[in-house]
Structure 1
Amino acid sequence: MSVFGCLTGNSSFASSIPDLGFSVHKLESGVDGHTLLIIGGIQGDEPGGFNAASLIVTHYDILSGNVWVVPNLNFLSIIKRSRGVYGDLNRKFDKLHPKDPEYHTIEKIKKLIIDPKVDLVLNLHDGSGFYRNTYHDILHNQNRWGQCIIIDQERVNSGTFSNLTLIAKKTVAHVNNHLLNQNEHFNLNNTKTQKGNEEMAKTLTYFAIKNHKSAFGVEASKSFPTAKRAYYHLLAIESFFNQAGIKFKRNFKLSERHIKTAIDDNIQVALNNRKILLKIENVRNRLNYIPLKKNSVLEFQVNNPLMTIVTSGNEYRVFHGNRQLTHLYPQYFDYDFSLDAIDMIVDGVHKTVPFGNSVTVKDEFMVKSLKGHRVNVIGFTKPEITNESGMTILKRNILKQFSIDKKGTLFRVEVYKSQKFSGMVLVDFGEKPVSDMNVAYEEKIPEILMNIF
């Protein structure tokens, strides 16, 4: 998947992202079946929910039925690590003034919820403590929200999935059969909204219920780190898949450790029509002299729905969910469009590598000479050499501190025509062999079928 965006430089953080809306990802199998809508990020300080939703987009294949995912409903609040920049978005589904800054967001997500194709709706949350039916202690009681499946009432007039209690109990049982620790068990929480729960009457799930949709809240405990919260979210989601007859594959093992790896796996950003590729998963805190186009907006493309770029003064800040990963400090150039690829000799093998791609190198590489163009390998220096094409370069020839990544394995190869920037290729000396890829490519690892944990 790819997500596009553009920014104008030299603006403040807040003003650079006024139109940062949510994205909708429709994973449709082509095989008839039910449609499940998953919503994450309604509150920006709940990363377990929005990372779990994002993993469905990036690491799952749907084999029957359909799964629609909104992983970043309140994207601005996610970036700012706020429950809600303009108030609690999950309390705006009953009555909302048209001048509310989130009015159009609410109207848009309402339209998606009531789409005739949607059969079930999941709203993913991270809640405080551990919900229990009776008081145990300050973290385990009926006023906490973590580790539960929420329903607003026992049944809804929605046809196939009308028995909310039964569906929720099956999900609770499924999660409790795969606990990481026995004291982390789930419970069913019926808020009985229709009987006078005024706060819950304003929520997304109750809006869905009023429109005859089966809707559930899934709450993982905020007492856990993000990957562990996402583990419990995914357990619950897969139970709903199974009950809806939705068959699927995921390409990682369902464990806290593998989820942590998957969240950060293969996250990339391409800039300015893929002239530049940056692999962000282990990026340094600051990248200097990024060759951006003069007098132009920054166009970017990401391969993860939680990624975006915002401007702040003279820098660009790259976010993945609520984590700021790196600062980009630009150097501005006119762009040359006469070239779109370079010829390289990589470990003795000839390769033509388009700009905006990476190439894996075991021992050495050389960029073949280009008439009218010069090559600059960032971090490689040799006295009196201004054009580094035609030179065989080993990893030890490049200064580690100029790498993009913290491990010192990923380096920029930039090409210029006179004073104009032509494009960039990454050379990757990492031990893990990866396919040469562009930003839209998603590497597949051995897939694990549903119900295998």
Structure 2
Amino acid sequence: MRLLLSFILVVMTAVPAFAHNPLDFSLHKLGNDPDGPTILVVGGIQGDEPGGFSAAGMLVTHYKITKGNVWVVPNLNFLSIIKSARGPFGDMNRKFAALDKNDPDYTAVQRIKEIIRNDQVDMILNLHDGSGFYHPQYIDELHNPGYWGQCVIIDQKAIEHPLYGRLSDMAEIAVRKVNAELLQGSDAFHLKNTRTREGDHEMEKTLTYYAIKHGKPAFGIEASKSFMTPTRTYYHLSVLESFLKQVGVEFSRDFDLSPRSIKQAMFSQVKLALYGGKLQLDLDNVRKYLQYIPMNKDLASKFEVSKPLLTMVDAPNGYKVYYGNRNLTNLSPQFFEFDDSLSSLRINVDGHTRDVAMGTIIDVDSHFCINSMDGYRVNIIGFVGRNNGAESGMLVRRKDLISRFSLDKNGRVYRVEAYRGEKFSGMVLVRFSENNALAVR
């Protein structure tokens, strides 16, 4: 139990809380090597390209940088991500040459420009998903020079830079590396040189060319939109890892580099915590609608997430929770004043009694029982025992719970809420093991 709680706390504090605008982009600095190289990775400049922003998100939560530094902005245009649109206010990747101060994207563009110009940043990788399959010669309708998928993009062959100026050479190394790891031969990558300064006025407006003009090596990475998101993410990470190794960044990751493992990692440990972690929602396989979630109007904008692509925004009848461009769930709140006097519940789990901190998820094989506490009442959401209004002191099995009140679609995770009078004191989640017998109701 102690190890489980420690893991949850590490995960939940890995990504900062949003105290103001939940759609501001976030910058995550991985590694602590002042003398080492620093690569800036940007995802989500266009919200209809989930392979790119998912790969950037995976860097934040599933990689450990052991030498050098990686700075990650996985959600540059967060509004476009949750809308699954190229850009609600126009294409942000065409706003880096000139931009009116009244443009809604102005603040975000100025912020990322400042990060790009930071003296510590040595190289920039901008992650995209593109249509079809780029090929320097016309092969067929899907493989030809008119497409952008499956390529590494440079604006020009080289720039003046003391270490990483040979853009074409570095891109070719990345292309050879990913082509040695193709899932199938037709997925091949190629180098695409847009020769931007020779008159490509559209590409002159892009993030990568802005970096080039400021003396920073920059590359675009494009995975094909013909693939599902985990496969796109696989190719992004394969190319990205080549660039990390080329500049001397060392790293480890906690998953195998395969679409299946990537999908498992992306959709595990998805959690939202509020009120300093006293209320935590496990969003793995979450139901589409969650009713009567205890919330406080003054504190609802302050939350912590386990993934940088996870956020919560206002909705007409509550809140919408998004993970990338997926609306994971919708919260219907019940507003309370909050009480901070209770830090834990004493719970007997499968015959063993322990103190369980608020916000914790505990695993249950057979049954649990919440110890009674003077001055507090416990509400086990979905419990149907003969409790006369008092749900502490009751032995609760999975068969005693109505499955439609669970957080998850499988009927395994349930809320245990504590109250002091009419004030909400905190919540613990109980998660029944998969082999626990369930009497369906």
Structure 1 stretch displaced more, 118-127 or 326-335: 326-335
Structure 2: segments with no counterpart, 5+ residues:
1-13, 437-441
Residue type at the aligned position of 1:330: P
- Aligned partner of 1:344 in structure 2 is 347
Shift of 1:32: 3.5
Assess if the C-alpha contact under 8 Å between 2:274 and 2:300 holds in 1.
no
Superposition map of 1:229-244 within 5 A: 229-244=232-247
From 241, 245, 249, the counterpart of 2:252: 249
For residue 146 of structure 2, the aligned residue among 143, 148, 153 is 143
In 1, Cα distance between equivalents of 2:325 and 2:191: 29
How far has the Cα of 1:382 moved from its partner?
2.0
Deviates more, 1:352-361 or 1:66-75: 352-361
- Residue 108 of structure 1 is aligned with which of 107, 111, 119? 111
Match of 2:90 among 78, 87, 92: 87
Alignment of 1:124-143 (within 5 A): 124-143=127-146
- Alpha carbons 2:65, 2:251 under 8 Å: kept: yes
Confirm or deny that 1:404 pairs with 2:407.
Answer: yes
Equivalent position of 1:450 in the other structure: none
Post-superposition shift, 1:120? 1.0
Distance, in Å, in 1 between the alignment partners of 2:408 and 2:293 is 14
Partner deviation per Cα, 1:248-303 (whole Å, 9 max, x = no partner): 00000000101111111101001223221101121001111111125654432111
CA deviation digits over 1:98-155, x for unaligned, max 9? Answer: 2211112111101111111111110000000000101122211101000000000010
Alignment correspondent of 1:99: 102
1:221 match:
224
Q: Which has the higher contact order (CA 8 A, sep 6+)?
A: 1
TM-score in terms of structure 2 length: 0.93
SS in 2 for 1:112: helix
Partner deviation per Cα, 1:352-371 (whole Å, 9 max, x = no partner): 11111111111111111111
Distance 1:116 1:133, change over 3 A: same
Checking the alignment, whether the CA contact within 8 Å between 2:26 and 2:76 is kept in structure 1 is: yes
In structure 2, what is the Cα distance between the partners aligned to 1:409 and 1:333? 26
Aligned counterparts of 2:226 and 2:32: Cα–Cα separation in 1: 36
Quick check: 1:6–1:297 contact (8 Å CA) kept in 2? no
**Matching residue of 2:51:** 48
How far did residue 421 of structure 1 move? 1.4
Moved more, 31-40 or 146-155: 31-40
Q: 1:387, 1:291 → 2: CA distance?
A: 19
Written as runs of structure 1 = structure 2, the 5 A alignment for 1:352-391 is: 352-391=355-394
In the TM superposition, what is the alpha-carbon distance from 1:431 to its structure 2 partner? 3.8
* Distance change in 2, residues 1:288/1:148 (3 Å): same
Aligned to 2:3: none
- Look up the match of 1:5: 18
How far apart are the structure 2 equivalents of 1:35 and 1:127?
26
Asked if 1:305 corresponds to 2:318, the answer is no
TM-score scaled by structure 1?
0.91
The CA deviation string for residues 358-406 of structure 1, in whole angstroms up to 9 with x for no partner, is: 1111111111111111111111112352111112211222121211011
CA contact (8 A) 1:132 1:141 kept: yes
Aligned-pair identity (%): 49
Unaligned runs of 5+ in 1: 8-16, 434-453
Instruction: Work out whether residues 32 and 64 of structure 1, in 8 Å CA contact, stay in contact via their aligned partners in 2.
Output: no
Are 1:289 and 2:302 matched, yes or no? no
Change (3 A) 1:341 1:401: same
Contact 1:52 1:234 (C-alpha < 8 Å) held by counterparts: yes
CA contact (8 A) 1:315 1:327 kept: yes
Letter aligned with residue 20 of structure 1: L
Q: Which moved more, 1:31-40 or 1:419-428?
A: 31-40
1:24, 1:70 within 8 Å by CA — same for their partners in 2?
yes
Alignment of 1:2-81 (within 5 A): 2-6=15-19, 20-30=23-33, 32-81=35-84
Corresponding letter in the other structure for 1:288: Q
Q: Following superposition of structure 1 onto structure 2, how do residues 263-274 of structure 1 map, counting pairs within 5 Å?
A: 263-274=266-277
Aligned partner of 1:333 in structure 2 is 336
Q: Greater shift after overlay, 25-34 or 169-178?
A: 25-34
1:60-97 C-alpha deviation (Å, 9 max, x unpaired): 00010000000000001101111011111111111112
Distance apart, 1:429 and its partner CA: 1.0
Task: Provide the C-alpha distance between the structure 1 equivalents of 2:297 and 2:205, rounded to a whole number of angstroms.
Answer: 47
Instruction: Give the length in aligned residue pairs.
Output: 423
Residues 405-414 or 393-402, more deviating = 393-402
Larger mean CA deviation between 23-32 and 137-146 belongs to: 23-32
Structure 2 CA distance for aligned equivalents of residues 337 and 204 of structure 1: 46
1:192 corresponds in structure 2 to 195
Tell whether the 8 Å contact from 1:410 to 1:430 is kept in structure 2 after alignment: no
Q: 1:418 aligns with which of 409, 421, 428?
A: 421
C-alpha separation in 2, matches of 1:6 and 1:387 = 36
Give the alignment of 1:140-179 within 5 angstroms. 140-179=143-182
The SS at the match of 1:223 is coil
